[in-house]
C-alpha cells in the first residue's frame, strides 16, 4: 500500500534541514499522478520509491513543476523513511534512477551517504552577465579569485563565490532573470557560497536558488554540495572532508558532508552524506484511489 511521508533531510544536530515528500510503494502511480502529488505536497522535491518488494529500490524525483534526474536531500529523506519502516538495513545498496543507478550507503548511525557522478565542469561564465541577476556588482563576483562556473556531480548548478557571509545573506535575486538564464545555459540553479561559515569547523556557507524548477530557494542541496566540493578541490581548496552549511537565511539550518574520491587533479567520484529527522506520515495528500 502506498504511504506518504514528510521528511526533513540534512538536519543539523537533529533540527532544521530541507523537507521532502517521500512516497513508498509507488508502483500504482503514473508520471502525471506523481507530478500532481508533488505539486500538492508543495515541497522542493518529492521522492517516489518503487521496487522495494524486489529489494532494489528505484527513486524518481519531482519538484512541484517538473521531474528532475536526481535530488540529494530527497535521497536522504527516502532512505531515512525506508530505514524507519524497516525496509532497508545498514550497508551499501544500489538505487535505481530514471536513468542508471547510484550507490547509497546507510551507516549504523542512520547517516545516508549518496554516491554522485564524477564532476563535470562547464565553461567559466562572465561575471558581467551574472551580477545583475543577483543584484551584485562585478567586483563582488571576482573578489575571491574563484570562477563563476557551472559544475555537475549529477545536476549542473552554477557555482557563485562571494567574499563574505554578510554579502551572501543580503542577496535578493531577480528570479525571472535567473530562471531565464538557467534555461538559456541548460543549468538547474545558482549555488552561492562564501568561505566564511558560521561554524569555524565547517568549510563554507551556502544558498541555493532554482526558480527554473519552481524552487526560489531551498535550505539544503546535496547535489550542489558535491559539485561545490569538486569546484573547491580543483581550485586549490583541498580537504579530507568538506562540511557545508545552508538554510540559515530560511530559518532552517542544514549540514551536508562531502568526501571526494580519487585523484590529485579532478576527483573521480563524490559522496555526500547527511542525517534525516523523524518521518511524519501524511497519507491524506495521496489521491483517493491510493
| Run of H or E including 198 | none
Check the CA dihedral 157-95-205-280 and report its sign.
Answer: positive
Q: Band of the pLDDT at 263, cuts 50, 70, 90?
A: low
pLDDT, tens only, 37-46 = 999 999 999 9
Catalytic machinery residues: 45
Please state the rounded mean pLDDT for residues 156-168: 98
Q: Which CATH architecture has domain 3-97+280-285?
A: Roll (3.10)
| CATH superfamily label, 120-274 | Diaminopimelate Epimerase; Chain A, domain 1 (3.10.310.10)
Q: Tens of pLDDT along 167-197?
A: 999 999 999 999 999 999 999 999 999 999 9
pLDDT tens sequence across 25-70: 999 899 999 999 999 999 999 999 999 988 789 999 999 999 999 8
Domains 3-97+280-285 and 120-274 fall in the same CATH topology: yes
- The answer to whether 187 and 180 have CB atoms below 8 angstroms apart is no
Using an 8 Å Cβ cutoff, are 62 and 21 in contact? no
Contact 227, 159 (CB under 8 A): yes
Rounded to the nearest angstrom, the gap between the alpha carbon of residue 101 and the centroid of all alpha carbons in its chain is: 17
User: Domain residues of the chain, as ranges?
Assistant: 3-97+280-285, 120-274
Amino acid at each position: 500500500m502506498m504511504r506518504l511521508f514528510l521528511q526533513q533531510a540534512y538536519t543539523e544536530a537533529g533540527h532544521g534541514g530541507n523537507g521532502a515528500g517521500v512516497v513508498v510503494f509507488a508502483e500504482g502511480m503514473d508520471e502525471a499522478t506523481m507530478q500532481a502529488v508533488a505539486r500538492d505536497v508543495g515541497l522542493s522535491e518529492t521522492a517516489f520509491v518503487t521496487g522495494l518488494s524486489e529489494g532494489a529500490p528505484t527513486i524518481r524525483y519531482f519538484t512541484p513543476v517538473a521531474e528532475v534526474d536526481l535530488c540529494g536531500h530527497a535521497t536522504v529523506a527516502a532512505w531515512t523513511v525506508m530505514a524507519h519502516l524497516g525496509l532497508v538495513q545498514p550497508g551499501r545498496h544500489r538505487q535505481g534512477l530514471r536513468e542508471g543507478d547510484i550507490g547509497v550507503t546507510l551507516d549504523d548511525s542512520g547517516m545516508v551517504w549518496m554516491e554522485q557522478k564524477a564532476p563535470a565542469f562547464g565553461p567559466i561564465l562572465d561575471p558581467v552577465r551574472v551580477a545583475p541577476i543577483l543584484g551584485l556588482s562585478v567586483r563582488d563576483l571576482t573578489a575571491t579569485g574563484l570562477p563563476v562556473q557551472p559544475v555537475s556531480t549529477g545536476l549542473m548548478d552554477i557555482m557563485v563565490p562571494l567574499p563574505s557571509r554578510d554579502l551572501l545573506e543580503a542577496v535578493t535575486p531577480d528570479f525571472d532573470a535567473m530562471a531565464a538564464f538557467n534555461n538559456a545555459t541548460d543549468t538547474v540553479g545558482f549555488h552561492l557560497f562564501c568561505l566564511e561559515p558560521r561554524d569555524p569547523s565547517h568549510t563554507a556557507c551556502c544558498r541555493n536558488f532554482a526558480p527554473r524548477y519552481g524552487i526560489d530557494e531551498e535550505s539544503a542541496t546535496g547535489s550542489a554540495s558535491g559539485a561545490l566540493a569538486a569546484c573547491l578541490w580543483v581550485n586549490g581548496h583541498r580537504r579530507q572532508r568538506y562540511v557545508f552549511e545552508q538554510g540559515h537565511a530560511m530559518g532552517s539550518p542544514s549540514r551536508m558532508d562531502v568526501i571526494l574520491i580519487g585523484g590529485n587533479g579532478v576527483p573521480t567520484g563524490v559522496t555526500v552524506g547527511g542525517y534525516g529527522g523523524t518521518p511524519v506520515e501524511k497519507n491524506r495528500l495521496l489521491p483517493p484511489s491510493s
